[in-house]
């Protein structure tokens, strides 16, 4: 047989893997649109470009009549209701600005429950039939849109006969221009998306409601401490750090699993994986750096304040982080950021992967959700300040969060559940699925002091002497970092680290805000009762102390500063009675609990049907996502891996028969062949088994989800094990797709 050496012969076509790898290695910056321009002079132009495509406060100040501008500011900054009467004037200014900047169309931009963003474009102006144009964008077009909602998931909220959905202008998140390929410019107006009777069909509406809930309750606490002077609003702040992978686009397209599922369903680990940990903060490859710079330029234009970029732990993994903003704007910006990461990558021959776990055995991607509360006057309510032990207001807000996370760990867990995050949570590198809080030494010490009396001291980190005279002394933080905690206090904010990289930020923040609002409400109610109006400082201090002591006693079980990866912690957490929902199927039912329904209803974040609809949508999404994965696996196993394996089998068999024909002993080769044939049969039967498992119908989607957990996923694991074993044996030139080594090391 001559084809056995096929790859070296020019007569035999290369396998898809070979051509993809060749193309990836041959990638040339000059072939790629945009590369050369990406970094040139960027710094110099940065200032003028920043926010250039945002209908910002600056633009509004220039273009709106003074009184209208002032009223807009009262809405955007103080959360006052929008006066619809001024919409016509704002719309006219917005339209002129957009057209002057090249826009032809506008869209109400919203976040349906698919987890993506949606838009429907309409022209800003239309021909008037007499050779001129007519403006086609009025105040009412700005404020309200109507869209056929039936193509978006509603989780049963909308009866099919009432398919209408409405979009409503969110004036607190600035409109911006989206620049597409070929010079297409579209005015994007952030909107909420609701059904005809006002039920939220999106992620923004509940987020806004939850922000209002925290704001109201936090103000009560400030009033009690007398620190509400000049404060008219409390907001939540959010700085989401986004991790992502980049792979070469040619390689990406040679992997059906990446194309359809955004993750690899097969793949033996590379010999040089992450073991060396030399990628983290390593130097960024030139192509990737050019890509990052262009992503940043695009984001700056639309006002997303990205600040940090670096390599992440895994090879091929990177991170980008913006400076924090008010949570509503930050969540919109987070959507723009994910879309921009995806959109720019092809210009550099790259594909951006946002999936939480694209590669087994390699670090997954998260979206660290840095969260705090702040007044409109800029007071960060989670800033411990110098003498933390005397800062009773800070300790009150801190304890409110501790209480909230302990009481509603199940809801927080549910807020980050999903098929893709399942592969990350609880795996070795990521935060465990058990929700606990890391406080660090300084705060833990104060909490312990507080529990047994009046706290007397604040531990200081001191200074680090670097040992060389020319280097500065660095202040040492009072607590080291703990990368294993799902919910960590990091200096002046909490970092919810279990959020998945592909998730929208709005949903976990909606849950976080609501549970904290409830704790603040509880605390405020108790304090108001205990101290009445205008209490003396001493009376207030002792009431606060008594209350915090009780909260600490009741809820300190959720605090854990140790290594969250260890088995001991799992045992200890079980002893403490902390829930451990291992996957989506275990986590989602928390949304149906009576406790959850009442909580969200009380703070007007979700009605019962709205909350139920989320449950249904998440279950459905889980079922769909894993079912597509299972089908993709079956098809790849059958049409790519099995044929390659049989080809290899023929080579082995030929080797045995030709060796025997030459009268040479080859018992070992024969044993190899036998073992190989067995492995191929294992692949065959595992493929059939998965196919049967995935062919499942259930009228009840949650029963289907349970079937997936119990039967489909284990069958996927089995098939993958056989295939990955084959990958490590089959001749490299026969393997039909790029390997982990090809994918993970970008040139």
The neighbouring-strand residues paired with 245 are 317, 353
**Residues forming the site for ligand ADP (CB under 6 A):** 237-239, 241, 308, 321-324, 370-372, 380, 492-493
Please, which residue, 408 or 493, has the CB nearer to ligand ADP? 493
Q: How far is the CB of 367 from ligand ADP (least distance, A)?
A: 11
Contact partner at residue 165 from ligand ADP, Mg ion, none, CB < 5 to 8 Å by partner kind: none
Q: How far is the CB of 238 from ligand ADP (least distance, A)?
A: 6
Contact at 8 Å (CB) between 91 and 141? Answer: yes
Please, which residue, 483 or 706, has the CB nearer to ligand ADP? 483
Please, which residue, 442 or 694, has the CB nearer to ligand ADP? 442
Contact at 8 Å (CB) between 250 and 256? Answer: no
Please, which residue, 404 or 683, has the CB nearer to ligand ADP? 404
* Chain centre distance of CA 318: 14
Q: Which of 630, 628, 618, 729 is nearest to 678 (CA)?
A: 729
Structure tokens at 433: 């699925």
Mapped onto helix, strand or coil, the DSSP state of residue 315 is coil
Residue linked to tokens 């002591």: 549
Please, which residue, 308 or 525, has the CB nearer to ligand ADP? 308
CA atoms within 13 A on the CB side of 136: 16
Interatomic CA distance for residues 673 and 670, integer angstroms: 5
Contact at 8 Å (CB) between 381 and 502? Answer: no
Contact partner at residue 116 from ligand ADP, Mg ion, none, CB < 5 to 8 Å by partner kind: none
Please, which residue, 509 or 632, has the CB nearer to ligand ADP? 509
Structure tokens at 250: 């040619």
Give me the torsion for CA of 613, 617, 618, 623, rounded to 10°.
Answer: 140
Interatomic CA distance for residues 705 and 615, integer angstroms: 12
Mapped onto helix, strand or coil, the DSSP state of residue 165 is strand
Q: How far is the CB of 331 from Mg ion (least distance, A)?
A: 18
DSSP conformation class of 453: S
Q: How far is the CB of 241 from Mg ion (least distance, A)?
A: 4
Contact partner at residue 685 from ligand ADP, Mg ion, none, CB < 5 to 8 Å by partner kind: none
Please, which residue, 381 or 715, has the CB nearer to ligand ADP? 381
Please, which residue, 192 or 321, has the CB nearer to ligand ADP? 321
Contact partner at residue 323 from ligand ADP, Mg ion, none, CB < 5 to 8 Å by partner kind: ligand ADP
- The total of other beta-carbon atoms located within 10 Å of residue 37's CB is 13
**Residues forming the site for Mg ion (CB under 5 A):** 241
Q: How far is the CB of 306 from ligand ADP (least distance, A)?
A: 9
Q: How far is the CB of 418 from ligand ADP (least distance, A)?
A: 23
List of residues 6+ apart from 450 with CB closer than 8 A: 389, 395, 545, 548, 549, 552
Contact partner at residue 237 from ligand ADP, Mg ion, none, CB < 5 to 8 Å by partner kind: ligand ADP
Residue linked to tokens 């976080």: 512
Q: How far is the CB of 312 from ligand ADP (least distance, A)?
A: 10
Q: What are the angstrom distances between the C-alpha of 489 and each of 159, 218, 393, 410?
A: 44, 19, 16, 19
Contact partner at residue 492 from ligand ADP, Mg ion, none, CB < 5 to 8 Å by partner kind: ligand ADP
Q: How far is the CB of 500 from Mg ion (least distance, A)?
A: 16
Contact at 8 Å (CB) between 169 and 55? Answer: no
Q: How far is the CB of 305 from ligand ADP (least distance, A)?
A: 8
Please, which residue, 404 or 430, has the CB nearer to Mg ion? 430
Please, which residue, 380 or 390, has the CB nearer to ligand ADP? 380
Contact partner at residue 12 from Mg ion, ligand ADP, none, CB < 5 to 8 Å by partner kind: none
Q: How far is the CB of 383 from ligand ADP (least distance, A)?
A: 8
Contact partner at residue 139 from ligand ADP, Mg ion, none, CB < 5 to 8 Å by partner kind: none
Q: How far is the CB of 243 from Mg ion (least distance, A)?
A: 9
Q: What are the angstrom distances between the C-alpha of 239 and each of 179, 308, 342, 372, 495?
A: 24, 11, 20, 9, 9
Interatomic CA distance for residues 443 and 482, integer angstroms: 14
Contact partner at residue 364 from Mg ion, ligand ADP, none, CB < 5 to 8 Å by partner kind: none
Interatomic CA distance for residues 613 and 611, integer angstroms: 5
Contact partner at residue 443 from ligand ADP, Mg ion, none, CB < 5 to 8 Å by partner kind: none
Contact partner at residue 322 from Mg ion, ligand ADP, none, CB < 5 to 8 Å by partner kind: ligand ADP
Contact partner at residue 493 from ligand ADP, Mg ion, none, CB < 5 to 8 Å by partner kind: ligand ADP
Q: How far is the CB of 64 from Mg ion (least distance, A)?
A: 38
Looking at beta carbons, which residue is closest to Mg ion?
241
Please, which residue, 464 or 574, has the CB nearer to ligand ADP? 464
Contact at 8 Å (CB) between 198 and 185? Answer: no
CA atoms within 13 A on the CB side of 203: 29
Please, which residue, 308 or 717, has the CB nearer to Mg ion? 308
Contact at 8 Å (CB) between 382 and 221? Answer: no
**Pairing label, strands 325-326, 367-375:** unpaired
Looking at beta carbons, which residue is closest to ligand ADP?
239
Q: Which of 325, 377, 443 is nearest to 219 (CA)?
A: 377
């Amino acid at each position: 047989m001559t084809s056995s050496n096929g790859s070296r012969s020019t007569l035999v076509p290369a396998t898809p893997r070979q051509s993809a790898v060749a193309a990836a290695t041959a990638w040339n910056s000059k072939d790629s649109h945009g590369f050369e321009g990406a970094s040139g002079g960027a710094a110099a132009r940065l200032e003028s470009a920043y926010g250039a495509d945002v209908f910002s406060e600056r633009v509004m100040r220039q273009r709106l009549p003074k009184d209208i501008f002032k009223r807009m500011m009262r809405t955007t900054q103080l959360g006052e209701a929008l006066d619809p009467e001024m919409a016509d004037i704002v719309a006219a200014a917005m339209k002129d600005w957009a057209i002057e900047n090249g826009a032809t169309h506008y869209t109400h931009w919203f976040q349906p429950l698919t987890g993506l963003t949606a838009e429907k474009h309409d022209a800003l102006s239309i021909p008037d039939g007499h050779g001129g144009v007519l403006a086609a964008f009025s105040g009412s077009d700005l404020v309200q849109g109507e869209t056929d909602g039936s193509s978006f998931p509603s989780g049963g909220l909308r009866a099919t006969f009432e398919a209408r959905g409405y979009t409503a202008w969110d004036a607190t998140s600035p409109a911006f221009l989206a620049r597409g390929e070929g010079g297409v410019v579209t005015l994007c107006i952030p909107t909420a998306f609701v059904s005809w009777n006002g039920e939220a069909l999106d992620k923004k509406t509940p987020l806004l409601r939850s922000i209002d809930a925290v704001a109201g309750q936090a103000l009560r606490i400030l009033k009690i401490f007398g620190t509400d002077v000049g404060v008219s609003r409390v907001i939540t702040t959010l700085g989401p750090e986004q991790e992502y992978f980049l792979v070469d686009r040619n390689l990406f397209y040679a992997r059906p699993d990446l194309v359809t599922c955004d993750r690899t369903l097969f793949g033996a680990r590379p010999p040089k994986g992450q073991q060396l940990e030399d990628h983290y903060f390593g130097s960024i490859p030139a192509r990737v750096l050019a890509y990052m710079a262009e992503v940043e330029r695009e984001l700056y234009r639309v006002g997303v304040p990205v600040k940090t970029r670096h390599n992440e732990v895994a090879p091929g993994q990177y991170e980008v982080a913006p400076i924090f903003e008010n949570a509503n704007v930050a969540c919109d910006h987070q959507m723009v950021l994910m879309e921009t990461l995806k959109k720019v990558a092809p210009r550099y021959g790259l594909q951006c992967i946002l999936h939480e776990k694209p590669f087994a055995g390699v670090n997954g991607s998260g979206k660290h959700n840095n969260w705090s509360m702040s007044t409109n006057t800029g007071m960060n309510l989670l800033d411990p300040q110098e003498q933390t032990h005397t800062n009773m207001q800070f300790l009150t807000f801190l304890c409110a969060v501790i209480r909230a996370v302990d009481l509603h760990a199940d809801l927080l867990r549910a807020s980050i559940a999903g098929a893709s995050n399942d592969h990350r949570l609880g795996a070795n590198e990521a935060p465990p699925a058990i929700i606990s809080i890391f406080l660090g030494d300084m705060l833990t010490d104060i909490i312990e002091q507080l529990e047994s009396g009046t706290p007397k001291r604040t531990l200081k980190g001191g200074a680090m002497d670097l040992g060389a005279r020319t280097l500065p002394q660095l202040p040492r933080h009072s607590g080291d970092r703990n990368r294993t905690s799902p919910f960590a206090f990091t200096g002046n904010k909490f970092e919810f680290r279990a959020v998945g990289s592909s998730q929208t930020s709005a949903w976990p923040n909606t849950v976080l805000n609501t549970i904290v609002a409830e704790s603040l409400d509880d605390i405020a109610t108790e304090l108001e009762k205990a101290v009445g109006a205008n209490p003396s400082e001493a009376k207030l201090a002792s009431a606060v102390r008594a209350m915090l002591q009780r909260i600490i006693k009741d809820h300190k079980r959720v605090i854990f500063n140790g290594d969250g990866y260890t088995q001991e912690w799992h045992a200890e957490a079980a002893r403490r009675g902390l829930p451990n929902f291992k996957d989506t199927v275990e986590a989602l039912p928390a949304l149906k609990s009576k406790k959850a329904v009442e909580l969200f209803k009380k703070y007007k974040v979700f009605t019962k049907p709205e909350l139920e609809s989320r449950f249904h949508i998440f279950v459905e999404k889980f079922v769909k996502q894993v079912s597509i994965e299972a089908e993709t696996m079956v098809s790849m196993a059958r049409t790519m891996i099995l044929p390659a394996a049989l080809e290899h089998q023929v080579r082995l068999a030929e080797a045995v028969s030709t060796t025997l024909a030459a009268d040479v002993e080859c018992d070992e080769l024969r044993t190899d062949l036998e073992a190989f044939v067995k492995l191929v049969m294992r692949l065959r039967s595992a493929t059939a088994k998965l196919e049967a498992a995935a062919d499942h119908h259930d009228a009840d989607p949650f029963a289907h989800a349970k079937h997936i957990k119990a039967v489909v996923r284990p069958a996927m694991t089995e098939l993958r094990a056989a295939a990955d074993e084959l990958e490590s044996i089959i001749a490299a030139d026969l393997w039909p797709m790029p390997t982990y080594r090809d994918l993970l090391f970008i040139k």
